[in-house]
Amino acid sequence: MGSTLSQEQTSFAEKMEQFVKKMEMLVLNTFAHLNGSKDLQIRDFLYEEADYTIQVSRGPVIEKGGFEVCKVKKELPPMIPEPIWNRYLQIDIYPKTLWWGCSILPCISPTKQTEETWWVVSWT
């Protein structure tokens, strides 16, 4: 964790890191169980503003399941204040059907003013 975080913010950031690891294990194990395979495609995208790690599972039940973690390093002010610590987690689930798909996005960013959590769920 960054040295600019207060003790309370550091505790919050550590809880988020634990949450991300727990969700990663839960989601990817669920994909593997449903598809009968632990095969994953893993790609890292490293940019000046953020680093992304994307893991994708494909199979007969979950045609495409994705797990993405983004470590934001630099925001784009003035819309979003510069972070002191920021993680973005996205889970995408597309079963082998034309009728349903889902993205779940917990975005947690403790800023200098407040700690905020947003959950965005989109259905396709």
Whether residue 119 is contained in a domain is answered as: no
Tens-digit pLDDT profile for residues 71-107? 988 877 666 666 678 888 899 888 887 665 555 555 5
Nearby residues of 41 by Cβ (< 8 Å), 6 or more positions away: 55, 56, 57, 58
Evaluate the CA torsion angle 86, 52, 65, 36 in order and state its sign: negative
Residue range 61-65: average pLDDT? 89
pTM, two decimals, is 0.73
Whether residue 115 is contained in a domain is answered as: no
Whether residue 88 is contained in a domain is answered as: yes
Domain count across the chain = 1
Confirm if 44 and 70 have CB atoms less than 8 A apart.
no
Whether residue 118 is contained in a domain is answered as: no
Whether residue 64 is contained in a domain is answered as: yes
Whether residue 39 is contained in a domain is answered as: yes
- pLDDT of 83 reads 65
Evaluate the CA torsion angle 92, 124, 108, 70 in order and state its sign: positive
The percentage of residues in the chain with a pLDDT greater than 70, rounded to a whole number, is 70
- pLDDT of 111 reads 46
Whether residue 13 is contained in a domain is answered as: yes
Nearby residues of 111 by Cβ (< 8 Å), 6 or more positions away: 81, 83, 84
Q: What does the block give as tokens for 19?
A: 């949450």
Whether residue 121 is contained in a domain is answered as: no
Q: How many whole angstroms separate alpha carbon 66 and alpha carbon 7?
A: 33
Range of the domain at 47: 7-102
Opening angle at CA 109, ends 106 and 111, nearest 5: 160
